């Protein structure tokens, strides 16, 4: 049985609800979050997952603008 994971955001004590590819940690770091480094997966609690989704949609929008040229 897998034990409960904590959120990968430093100083966050919440249990993770999502396990994500570590590529998303770049987005979080760019936004000013610090991450615990011990894991090669990104674990996020509900709050920080919401935060990431917000940041990700912003990135996607920028990407679209850039492609529009």
Q: With CB under 5 A as the contact rule, which of the stretches 18-26, 29-37, 39-47, 61-69 interacts with Zn ion?
A: 39-47
**Nearer Cβ to Zn ion (36/59):** 36
Least Å from the CB of residue 13 to Zn ion: 8
**How many chain residues bind Zn ion (CB under 5 A)?**
6
**Nearer Cβ to Zn ion (7/35):** 7
Q: Which long-range contacts (CB under 8 A, 24 or more apart) does 16-22 make?
A: 16/43, 16/44, 16/45, 17/44, 17/45, 17/46, 17/49, 18/43, 18/44, 18/49, 19/43, 20/44, 20/52
């Amino acid at each position: 049985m897998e034990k409960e994971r904590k959120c990968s955001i430093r100083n966050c004590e919440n249990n993770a609800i999502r396990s994500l590819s570590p590529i998303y940690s770049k987005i979080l770091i760019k936004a000013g979050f610090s991450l615990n480094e011990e894991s090669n997966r990104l674990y996020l609690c509900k709050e920080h997952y919401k935060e990431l989704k917000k940041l990700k949609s912003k990135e996607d929008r920028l990407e679209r603008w850039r492609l529009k040229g």
